[in-house]
Amino acid sequence: MSHAQLPLLALAGFAAGAVNALAGGGTLISFPALLALGIAPVSANITSTVALCPGYLGAALAQRRELHGQRARMWPLLIVAAAGGLLGAVLLLHTRARIFEHAVPWLILLACALLGLQERVRAMLAARAARGGVADGSAATVPGPAAATPYWSLPLIGASAVYGGYFGAGMSVMLLAALGIAYDDELGRLNALKQWLALAANLTAAIWLAWRTSLNWPVVLVLALSAALGGACGGRLAGRLSPLMLRRAVVLLGVAIALVYLWRLY
């Protein structure tokens, strides 16, 4: 990558960070941008995973107050999410470049589908909470130690984290849906728990990938710093822009990119 392309990369990182803060799906901007700049698919995926990791930390810290009363169930799920993210990263590095290249458009389409379903997942969870009388969180119950972690929920969390460590885009939607199936709780609390699980999966994947591969660190730093700046600006714009419309725009962009990629491959 030439120095002249770094401003374009910074612009893509800024857009990815802002989109993540406003609606989610920033990877659907950063990953295709890296591909367009001539980076190989596997390397682009790894670069995006490592560079966007600070964004997961910021989102998790922003909602840490909602974790009150969830410690008992959080730690087992964190361990599973971290292990799943690591496994996904290991699988990525053991995938042949040609196979991953052919999987890219389908992974992008899957991420678009997950992002498109995000609003329905949130609406479903909010409706269930409302029926249970916890729509505003005032009647939310803190799970006791015996009911802290349903064991059957661990495979759901683990599978979502494996996907996140392998590709990333759409992982948050999968985690939130899995938590909604496992726990009858207020949406804000589940969303906060989801943020920490996503951080655990992404962080272990990023550490493993950074250790086991040779990264272009100037590219990583430009993408990470611009994404962090975009996230900060996106947070300030929250409430002024429609997350639903922005999410739809990102989905349409992702579908278009996937179709172009399929046309080039076949």
Q: How confident is the model at residue 147 (pLDDT cuts 50, 70, 90)?
A: very low
Please, is 48 exposed, middle or buried when counting C-beta atoms within 10 Å of its C-beta (0-12, 13-18, 19+)? buried
- Could you give the 3-state DSSP secondary structure of residue 88? helix
Identify the pLDDT of residue 157. Answer: 92
Q: Is residue 207's pLDDT more than 90?
A: yes
Rounded to an integer, what distance in angstroms lies between the CA atom of residue 266 and that of residue 261? 9
* Residue predicted with more confidence, 146 or 258: 258
**What's the domain range around 152?**
3-265
Instruction: Please name the residue that has the structure tokens 């009150």.
Output: 68
Helix spans in the chain (H): 6-22, 27-36, 41-51, 53-62, 71-93, 97-131, 153-166, 171-182, 187-212, 217-237, 243-265
pLDDT digits (tens, 9 = 90+) for 81-128: 999 999 999 999 999 999 998 998 998 898 888 777 777 777 777 777
Identify the pLDDT of residue 140. Answer: 42
- What's the domain count of the chain? 1
Residues 6+ apart with CB under 8 A from 3: none
